[in-house]
Chain A
Amino acid sequence: MKDDVILRTVARCMVPFILLFAFYVQAHGEISPGGGFQAGVIFASAFILIALAVGKEKAREKFKKKISDITCSLGLMIYAGIGFITVLCGGLFLEYGKLPFGSAQAGNHLGMIGIELGVGLAVASVMVTIFFEIARKDDD
């Protein structure tokens, strides 16, 4: 499939826009539909499109096994870590208002953006990992 000129050209045109949309959904999760989960899936779908167009091995070089394994757990760690930071700052687990950003309002705001980032990172790298592991045919 990777020799298909149409597929490769369309992928090359579409991927930047899909990635941009993923970042848009991620950043606007608080004021519009969307959030980390959807943004992660859209980000991963852009990556899968690259993998379909240029071949899995080349795409895997862009997002190596080691890195994606680390970012999988890093996303969850960001989420749980923010929870523990709020405990250290004297609040309850995941009580964002206690984060040291001045007011409780700002703490809530930035805390929610932070955990959405964690969710997005985890979901995107998990989806990419599952795709590469399932689609690997060379070991059959």
Chain B
Amino acid sequence: MINLMLLLFLVIIAIAAIQAKDILNSIMYLGAYSLFIALVWTELNAVDVAFTEAAVGAGVSGVFMIGALTRMNRFESSRERTGLAKYGPLFIVMVTAAMLFYATVDMPDYNNPEAPIHNHVAPYYIQNSESDTGSVNIVTSILASYRGFDTLGETSVVFTAAISVILLLRRRDKNER
């Protein structure tokens, strides 16, 4: 029941975020969206993901988007679209949604212990992660030890983001000097 309510809220907030003409409103809707999807992750027992979503999605990214908004126009342009420009994206979204719904039919049921994902590597991690890595938290042992390369790549991505922002936005300082 609570899952259904949360998912309904998510859909409502997503539509509201798209429909808002004031981009500041859209940013606030996106923050609320992140908070609700964090609740969904908690409901699915993925507490680490929920924690990240709450900290990054609902916290910092809103600040970044408001910061970016100070450099651009606050309101969406009121130019009306017609013909293909108006209905083309709708058509693409409809086709994608139809394909996704078709794909969900093949997916295993929620909480089904026979699902392939629960029978492949997950049992190994659950049984051996503590003796292999000495870490009580399975998520941390996977992130830092079994998939250490992935996390190193993730950290490099974060670092690359900083380099890109510095290169793009600090250029004016050099001209002044």
Contacts and interface: CB of A to CB of B under 8 A. Distances in A.
A115 B69 CA distance: 35
Interface string B134-177: 11110111011100110110111011011001100110110000
Interface in A71-100: 72-73, 75-76, 79-80, 83, 93-94, 96
24 contacts: A25-B51, A29-B137, A33-B48, A33-B137, A34-B48, A38-B55, A41-B52, A44-B60, A45-B60, A45-B63, A94-B145, A94-B149, A105-B134, A109-B135, A112-B140, A119-B151, A126-B158, A126-B159, A130-B162, A130-B165, A133-B169, A134-B67, A139-B173, A140-B71
Interface string A104-140: 0110110010011011001101110111011111011
Most chain A beta carbons < 10 A, residue from B50, B162, B169: B162
A37 B158 CA distance: 10
A133 B159 contact: no
Given A42-B55, A130-B165, A73 B159 contact: yes
Contact of B161 (A33, A109, A126): A126
Contacts of B1: none
B70 interface: yes
A82 to B, nearest CB: 9
Contacts of A33: 47-48, 50-51, 137, 139
A131 B127 CA distance: 42
B57 to A, nearest CB: 10
B143 A35 contact: yes
Contacts of B68: 134
A134 B169 contact: yes
B64 interface: yes
B155 A118 contact: yes
Contact of A32 (B67, B137, B152, B159): B137
A57 interface: no
Interface of A: 25, 29-35, 37-38, 41-42, 44-45, 48, 69, 72-73, 75-76, 79-80, 83, 93-94, 96, 105-106, 108-109, 112, 115-116, 118-119, 122-123, 125-127, 129-131, 133-137, 139-140
Contacts of A109: 134-135
A96 B165 CA distance: 33
Nearest to B147: A94
A123 B158 contact: yes
Contacts of B144: 35, 112, 115-116
B20 interface: no
* Residue among B52, B71, B151 with most chain A CB within 10 A: B151
